[in-house]
Amino acid sequence: MLAVMEQWDMDTGCHIDKTAMYLLLMILKLVLDALVFYLCCQKLYTLFLNMCSLSLVLFDLLLVIFMATVWILGTEKSLVSPCFVLANASAAYGALPLPMMFLGFLDYCLQDASPCNQRPFCKLVGNAILTLLVWILAITYTFGHVQSERVELDNAKVVLVCKVDMSTVIKYFVSGLFMAVICMMLPFCSMIPRWVKEADRISENYLEDTNWPRPPLWFSLTLGFGLFWLPYLAVSVACMCFGMEIPGYLSVNILWLECANSLLLGLVFWAKSKMQGPYSQLPENVCSWNVFWVSGKCCMLPVSLSAHSPEWIIFWH
């Protein structure tokens, strides 16, 4: 996709520099990422994806500083152009999703395997090194991805455009996850309101039980995920449907990373519960599952994962 950096009207001699507009977008993204990071990432160094969230905030800040410097000094006095900043940032951010999700999933799967994982200092050092390596690989990937050229339009306007990359991984991740959640919920759509009310009732009265049929564990996890993340997924898919292409330096944000984090946590918890039976080591750093209950004949005991949200340990009879 092409980003218009400057525009000249040959008839009127009017010149428009859009660097300030891109700087404003970066500032807004920095504020959003900082807010989501503050609300969602309670334990900064215990998990790899939390360290990735912290790194996104820091690189967002660095990007804003670079762009503000270029805007204040002007293209003539600054060492790099606004196009250079945008193009390299888009390519670097676009290269982050796959390695972050893969290493985050691996971190959750091996969380109980190594004794070193129980030591906070080991977690801090390991997560910091892995995050730094991911960013080094992403920045290395940007070499050769910058393109800036003057393009004449309608013989009356000349624009300076910059080629920026959108994240293909984010596009397919969001659209595929949205369709998957919708398709998984459709067979149970008539029961969803009852199960949501039942979950609210159980959260207030732990020991009381009813004869209502409970959903399977995989569906309760899907419903808990969907109730919180479907609005984000729906808005993202709507933007795609209306042809709104978002460059990588904006689409790769902490809101998306927390969505991916919730998905990975749910998958790991479901898989370990199926393979190992009752899995009491519940996943950490969940923004809000909202719904977390169990299937069949089981006993539920409340356990607090954090100071903000009660969750459940599951015991099979």
Q: 212: pLDDT confidence band, cut at 50, 70 and 90?
A: low
What pTM value is reported for the model? 0.82
DSSP string covering 116-168: GGG-HHHHHHHHHHHHHHHHHHHHHHTTT---EEEEEETTTEEEEEEE--B-H
Distance, in Å, from the CA atom of 184 to the CA atom of 35, rounded to the nearest integer, reads: 31
Cβ contacts of 123-127, under 8 Å, gap ≥ 24: 123/45, 123/46, 123/47, 124/45, 126/48, 127/45, 127/47, 127/48, 127/50, 127/51
Which residues lie closer than 8 Å to 205 by C-beta, 6 or more apart?
Answer: none
Give the tokens for residue 59. Answer: 């690189």
How confident is the model over 92-136, as pLDDT tens digits? 999 999 999 999 999 888 876 665 556 777 888 888 999 999 999
Interior CA angle at 244 toward 7 and 149, to 5°?
Answer: 30
How confident is the model over 144-171, as pLDDT tens digits? 666 655 555 555 667 777 888 888 999 9
Identify which has the larger pLDDT, 87 or 302.
87
What does the pLDDT read at residue 65?
Answer: 94
Q: 143: pLDDT confidence band, cut at 50, 70 and 90?
A: confident
Domain limits for position 144: 2-316
pLDDT at 306 over 60: no
What does the pLDDT read at residue 5?
Answer: 79
* Residue type present at position 247: P
What does the pLDDT read at residue 266?
Answer: 82
Identify which has the larger pLDDT, 245 or 208.
245
What does the pLDDT read at residue 205?
Answer: 56
**Of the candidates 12, 57, 65, 16, the residue with the CA atom closest to the CA atom of residue 36:** 57
What does the pLDDT read at residue 284?
Answer: 56
Number of domains forming the structure of the chain: 1
**Of the candidates 63, 293, 136, 115, the residue with the CA atom closest to the CA atom of residue 201:** 293
Distance, in Å, from the CA atom of 111 to the CA atom of 108, rounded to the nearest integer, reads: 5
Identify which has the larger pLDDT, 288 or 97.
97
What does the pLDDT read at residue 113?
Answer: 64
What does the pLDDT read at residue 213?
Answer: 64
Rounded to the nearest 10°, the torsion over CA 125, 131, 136, 142 is -170
pLDDT at 314 over 60: no
CB 4 within 8 A of CB 18: yes
Distance, in Å, from the CA atom of 257 to the CA atom of 175, rounded to the nearest integer, reads: 15
